[in-house]
Amino acid sequence: MRTITAAVALSPDLPFTLRELELEAPQPDEILVRIVATGICHTDISVKNQSVKLPLPMVLGHEGAGVVEAVGSAVTHLQPGDHVVMAGDSCGYCNKCQQSLPFYCDEFVTRNLTGWRRDGTSPLQLRCEPLRGRFVGQSSFATHSVVPARAAIRIDKDLPLELMGPLGCGLTTGAGTVLNALRPRPGSSIAVFGCGTVGLAAVMGARLAGSHKIIVIDPMASRREMALSVGATEAIDPATEDVVGQILASTRGGADFSVECSGVASVIPQAIACLGRPGMCAQVGAPPGGTIMPVDMDHLGFGRGIKGVVMGDANPQTFVPYLAALWRDGRLPFDRFVRYYPLNEINTAIADASKGDVIKPILRMP
C-alpha cells in the first residue's frame, strides 16, 4: 500500500473533498500511474451532482495523463517511464472489442461505471475500507492511480503531458463522432449544438473532414467566438435566433449532419429538425436519466436518422495518438480553451466551468 491524495465525491450536497487514501500495488494486468494532470469533464460534474446517478462516494476523473511507475507481471506493452493518456476499460475479447469498438464492450458498465474492478474490489481504501476507485478505468482525480493496462495509451514523451489528458475523453468524443461515426464527405454541411469541449472537438473534426459549412449553436457569445476561431463557419445564438429556420435557410434545405452535444432535452428535437434529406444526427450529450423524446416519424421517414454515439466510436489505442499528432501539427488547437488549476482548487474549477468562464479545466497534481 502507498498513501496518495485524491478528491473524493462524497455526496451531491458536499464539495469534492481532498482525502489521503491507501492505494494497492498493481495486479498482474494493471499499471501504477503517477498522474501529472487530468481534465474535468461534464460527466464528472453530473455524477457528483447525481444528475447521472452512479453510486457515491467515489473518486471520479477520467481524463488523466501521467507517467507509468510500475507494471503488473502480465503487462508487456508498457514499462516504467512511459508517458500515457488514460481512457476507459474494456475486456478485450468480446465481439465489440474485437471490432475495435471497446466503448461498446459487453462489460463496459461493470468495468467503468460501478467504481469497482470486475471482481467487485477496488485498488483504493479509505481508513482500511474499500472506496470506489475505478471510474472509467482510472479515477484520476488523484495523485496516483492503479489502472488496467488496456486503459492506458502510450504517447510520445516530447508531448506536454499536462495538456494531453482530455484527448482520452472530450476530444476523442467530439472529433471521433464526426470522423468515425458520421464520416461526412468533403463539402458536406454539419450543425453542432453546444460549444463545450466536445462540441469544439466536433467542429475541428468537421474541418478536418472537409465540411464546407460548419454551423454552431450555443447561447454563450464567448463559446461561439471560440468555435469560429477553430473552424466553424457560422454561429447562431439560440436565445435570439430561429435555430432550425436559420440552418434550413443557410444549407438550402437542411444540414447533412448534426451533433447534439449539450444534453439539453429541448435541444434534441432541433438537432433532428434541422436535417436535410438524407441526414443523420449524432446524440452525444447526456440528457437527464429517464428523458423520453417524441420523434416525428414522417420527418425521419425521408432518410433522416438519429444515433447515439459513445466516445466517438473510437479505438483509443490508435485514435489518441492520432489526435496528439494533429495537435502537434496545429490542426487540433484545443490548448486555446484550456485553463489549469491545482488539485486543491477542484471546486473552484468546477464552479468556473459551470458558469461558462472556462471550457476545459485541467487539474495539475502536486
The fold of 2-168+333-364 is Quinone Oxidoreductase; Chain A, domain 1 (3.90.180)
Question: What is the DSSP code (8-state) at residue 182?
Answer: I
CB atoms within 10 A of CB 14: 12
Check residue 1 and give its pLDDT. 87
**SS3 category, 102:** helix
Residue type, 346: I
* Largest separation between any pair of C-alpha atoms in the chain: 63
Q: What is the pLDDT along the chain (366 residues), one digit of tens a residue?
A: 899 999 999 999 999 999 999 999 999 999 999 999 999 999 999 999 998 889 999 999 999 999 999 999 999 999 999 999 999 999 999 999 999 999 999 999 999 999 999 999 999 999 989 999 999 999 999 999 999 999 999 999 999 999 999 999 999 999 999 999 999 999 999 999 999 999 999 999 999 999 999 999 999 999 999 999 999 999 999 999 999 999 999 999 999 999 999 988 899 999 999 999 999 999 999 887 778 888 888 888 899 999 999 999 999 999 999 999 999 999 999 999 999 999 999 999 999 998 989 999 999 999
Cβ(200)–Cβ(214) under 8 Å? no
* CA atoms of 139 and 24, how far apart (whole Å): 14
Cβ(170)–Cβ(201) under 8 Å? yes
* CA atoms of 23 and 349, how far apart (whole Å): 25
pTM of the model: 0.95
Check residue 215 and give its pLDDT. 98
Beta 213-217 vs 234-236: how paired, if at all? parallel
CATH superfamily of 174-310: NAD(P)-binding Rossmann-like Domain (3.40.50.720)
Q: How many helices (H) and strands (E) does the chain have?
A: 12, 18
Domain boundaries of the chain, sorted by first residue: 2-168+333-364, 174-310
* CA atoms of 213 and 204, how far apart (whole Å): 12
pLDDT tens for each residue of 93-149: 999 999 999 999 999 999 999 999 999 999 999 998 999 999 999 999 999 999 999
Angle separating helix axes 346-355 and 42-49, nearest 10 degrees: 100
Residues 6 or more apart in contact with residue 249 via CB below 8 angstroms: none
